[in-house]
Structure 1
Amino acid sequence: MDLSKYFLYASSLTTAGVVVTMLAYYMFGRQAKANGGNINAMPVADDKTPILQLRLQAHERMIIFVDRINPANLLLRLHQPGIEISALQLLAVNEIKTEFQHNITQQLYVESATWNVIRKLKDDTIAMVNNAVKNLPADASGVELSKNVLHYMSEIEENPYELTIGLIKQDIHQLF
């Protein structure tokens, strides 16, 4: 009698094993067919989805950064009635530096060449504000600083902020 219980137990284990094997083959066999017969190949999109999302978010943040440091937006946002030139200069430079520091980690997800352009644009914007102050009297108003910077921007043939946003968009399109 013990031998019959043993065979009954062994046959039920064998049946369960066959069922599990068939289920596994059915589930992974479809994946293997989709991957050209290679059962070890996993879908690539699932593995890279989180990094792709991070890269897209980084590009979005860089577009926002470039837009926020654009003098046309920056000076309008920071302007206060009666603000002195030195106060507006300090506010503008601090705002640019703060925005940049807030987004510094995004360089991990943006192409190196694009990051270098963004960093140079930040430095050039600070230099533009500082140079505009040099050409004005010390008692000038913040309005004069804004006019001076915006006049300089109007003389530039191609808007560097628009060009940088275009470069960021090109990077995004390369991801797809």
Structure 2
Amino acid sequence: MEQLEQLFPYFALIITALIVGAVAFLFFKKHTENEENRRRYLLHKDAQGKLLPLRLQAFERITLFLERMDLNKSVVRIKPRNSNVEVYENDLINGIEQEYEHNLTQQIYVSAEAWNIIRTAKNATIQTVRQMAMNEKNDSADKLRESLLNNAMAGVSPSQKALAFIKTEISELF
């Protein structure tokens, strides 16, 4: 019994030391987690500051692509070389495809949804050109051109819809 009474102060010291150690461990663990989160935040903030101008530049390039791809502008910009409908159809489609390929790298700066909408707009525009070229009324490149212009003026083009989405995505950046 006497030995137990002599060991009691040592047990009290050990228990106190364990409690202090546990509190210190939890404090330092929480402190290091907060520091890590702060460093991540600062890195993210720094990256955003550098990335925002690049993203805005990509949106500018995409806007230019969508404007150039719009049939109203494509038909005016790409003139028929001769009266052959197939040649003019291929010229229009090649012009759109070249613009698209020139801007492929911009997809890393926009959301996957935005890029899918841009790609869909390109494909829909090409499909419109092909459908109009298959119309028997369009037996010359000039008639195809006129039909494409009339069709483009009749409604909202796929590139205009994509441009509206892009404007929405840009507004979310700010």
Q: TM-score surpassing 0.5?
A: yes
TM-score by length of 1: 0.69
The letter of the residue matching 1:151 is N
Q: Structure 1 residues 47, 78: closer, same or farther in 2, change over 3 A?
A: same
- More off after superposition, 159-168 vs 49-58: 159-168
Per the alignment, residue 145 of structure 2 pairs with 146
Asked if structure 1 preserves the Cα contact closer than 8 Å seen for 2:80 and 2:142, the reply is: no
Asked if structure 2 preserves the Cα contact closer than 8 Å seen for 1:79 and 1:142, the reply is: no
Per the alignment, residue 79 of structure 1 pairs with 79
List aligned pairs for 1:101-116, cutoff 5 A: 101-116=101-116
CA distance in 1, matches of 2:38, 2:103: 41
CA distance in 1, matches of 2:47, 2:153: 46
CA distance in 1, matches of 2:42, 2:53: 19
Asked if structure 1 preserves the Cα contact closer than 8 Å seen for 2:88 and 2:141, the reply is: yes
Asked if structure 1 preserves the Cα contact closer than 8 Å seen for 2:124 and 2:158, the reply is: no
Residue 112 of structure 1: CA displacement? 1.3
- More off after superposition, 73-82 vs 88-97: 73-82
Residue 82 of structure 1: CA displacement? 4.2
List aligned pairs for 1:114-153, cutoff 5 A: 114-136=114-136, 140-153=139-152
Identity of aligned residues (%): 30
Residue 152 of structure 1: CA displacement? 2.1
Residue 43 of structure 1: CA displacement? 7.5
Residue 60 of structure 1: CA displacement? 0.7
Question: After superposition, what is the alpha-carbon deviation per residue over 1:41-80, rounded to whole angstroms, capped at 9, x for unaligned?
Answer: 6485433222111111111111111101101100110114
CA distance in 1, matches of 2:52, 2:90: 37
Question: After superposition, what is the alpha-carbon deviation per residue over 1:69-125, rounded to whole angstroms, capped at 9, x for unaligned?
Answer: 101100110114644322211111111111111111211111111111110010011
Asked if structure 2 preserves the Cα contact closer than 8 Å seen for 1:67 and 1:161, the reply is: yes
Asked if structure 1 preserves the Cα contact closer than 8 Å seen for 2:70 and 2:160, the reply is: no
Per residue, is there more helix in 1 or in 2? 2
What value does the CA root-mean-square deviation take over the aligned residues?
2.3
TM-score by length of 2: 0.69
Q: Structure 1: 5+ residue runs without aligned partners?
A: 1-37
Per the alignment, residue 25 of structure 1 pairs with none
List aligned pairs for 1:11-160, cutoff 5 A: 42=42, 45-80=45-80, 82-136=82-136, 140-156=139-155, 158-160=156-158
Q: Structure 2: 5+ residue runs without aligned partners?
A: 1-36
Kindly tell me the number of residue pairs found equivalent between the two proteins: 137
CA distance in 1, matches of 2:165, 2:136: 34
CA distance in 2, matches of 1:81, 1:96: 17
